[in-house]
Amino acid sequence: DVHDNNNKDDISEQKLHEPLINVTSEINGREAFQSSCKPDPQKPLNNQGKEKFVLECQSISNLDKSIKHELESKRICSDKSETKFSSKES
Protein backbone atom coordinates (compact mmCIF):
# COMPACT_ATOMS: atom_id res chain seq x y z
CA ASP A 1 0.00 0.00 0.00
CA VAL A 2 1.44 3.35 -1.05
CA HIS A 3 0.40 5.20 2.10
CA ASP A 4 2.34 2.83 4.36
CA ASN A 5 5.60 4.32 3.10
CA ASN A 6 4.72 7.68 4.62
CA ASN A 7 4.73 6.20 8.13
CA LYS A 8 8.26 4.83 7.89
CA ASP A 9 11.09 6.71 9.61
CA ASP A 10 13.64 5.53 7.06
CA ILE A 11 14.14 8.69 5.00
CA SER A 12 16.19 7.06 2.24
CA GLU A 13 13.44 4.55 1.58
CA GLN A 14 10.80 7.26 1.57
CA LYS A 15 12.79 9.30 -0.94
CA LEU A 16 13.08 6.23 -3.13
CA HIS A 17 9.32 5.78 -3.27
CA GLU A 18 8.37 9.43 -3.45
CA PRO A 19 8.27 9.75 -7.28
CA LEU A 20 6.03 6.70 -7.44
CA ILE A 21 3.65 8.21 -4.88
CA ASN A 22 3.43 11.43 -6.90
CA VAL A 23 2.57 9.57 -10.09
CA THR A 24 0.00 7.44 -8.30
CA SER A 25 -1.75 10.43 -6.78
CA GLU A 26 -1.66 12.08 -10.19
CA ILE A 27 -3.49 9.10 -11.68
CA ASN A 28 -6.01 9.06 -8.83
CA GLY A 29 -6.68 12.75 -9.42
CA ARG A 30 -7.24 12.13 -13.13
CA GLU A 31 -9.62 9.27 -12.39
CA ALA A 32 -11.59 11.47 -10.03
CA PHE A 33 -11.75 14.10 -12.76
CA GLN A 34 -12.83 11.45 -15.25
CA SER A 35 -15.78 10.42 -13.08
CA SER A 36 -16.78 14.08 -12.71
CA CYS A 37 -16.80 14.17 -16.52
CA LYS A 38 -20.30 12.69 -16.57
CA PRO A 39 -22.75 15.50 -17.32
CA ASP A 40 -24.81 16.75 -14.40
CA PRO A 41 -28.44 15.64 -14.92
CA GLN A 42 -29.58 18.84 -13.21
CA LYS A 43 -27.94 20.93 -15.93
CA PRO A 44 -28.97 19.73 -19.39
CA LEU A 45 -26.20 20.53 -21.87
CA ASN A 46 -26.81 21.53 -25.43
CA ASN A 47 -25.53 19.09 -28.08
CA GLN A 48 -22.33 21.02 -28.68
CA GLY A 49 -21.52 20.96 -24.97
CA LYS A 50 -22.27 17.23 -24.78
CA GLU A 51 -19.98 16.45 -27.72
CA LYS A 52 -17.17 18.51 -26.20
CA PHE A 53 -17.67 16.69 -22.90
CA VAL A 54 -17.47 13.26 -24.54
CA LEU A 55 -14.32 14.23 -26.44
CA GLU A 56 -12.67 15.46 -23.24
CA CYS A 57 -13.57 12.25 -21.43
CA GLN A 58 -12.17 10.12 -24.24
CA SER A 59 -8.89 12.02 -24.35
CA ILE A 60 -8.57 11.79 -20.55
CA SER A 61 -9.12 8.02 -20.55
CA ASN A 62 -6.51 7.65 -23.32
CA LEU A 63 -4.16 9.74 -21.22
CA ASP A 64 -4.92 7.49 -18.25
CA LYS A 65 -3.97 4.39 -20.24
CA SER A 66 -0.66 5.86 -21.35
CA ILE A 67 0.15 7.05 -17.82
CA LYS A 68 -0.64 3.64 -16.35
CA HIS A 69 1.55 2.02 -18.99
CA GLU A 70 4.33 4.47 -18.17
CA LEU A 71 3.88 3.79 -14.46
CA GLU A 72 4.24 0.04 -15.02
CA SER A 73 7.50 0.50 -16.93
CA LYS A 74 8.74 2.96 -14.28
CA ARG A 75 7.90 0.47 -11.57
CA ILE A 76 10.05 -2.16 -13.28
CA CYS A 77 12.91 0.35 -13.56
CA SER A 78 12.59 1.44 -9.94
CA ASP A 79 12.70 -2.20 -8.82
CA LYS A 80 16.01 -2.59 -10.62
CA SER A 81 17.41 0.62 -9.13
CA GLU A 82 16.30 -0.43 -5.64
CA THR A 83 18.35 -3.61 -5.91
CA LYS A 84 21.36 -1.53 -6.91
CA PHE A 85 20.77 0.77 -3.93
CA SER A 86 20.66 -2.03 -1.37
CA SER A 87 23.84 -3.65 -2.71
CA LYS A 88 25.67 -0.30 -2.51
CA GLU A 89 24.64 0.32 1.09
CA SER A 90 25.59 -3.13 2.40
Per residue in 62-77, pLDDT tens? 888 888 888 888 776 6
Q: 54 or 15, which is more confident?
A: 54
pTM for the model stands at: 0.26
- Domain that residue 20 falls in: 2-89
**30 touches 67 (CB < 8 A):** yes
**8 touches 14 (CB < 8 A):** yes
Mean local confidence (pLDDT), 36-44: 56
| Number of domains within the chain | 1
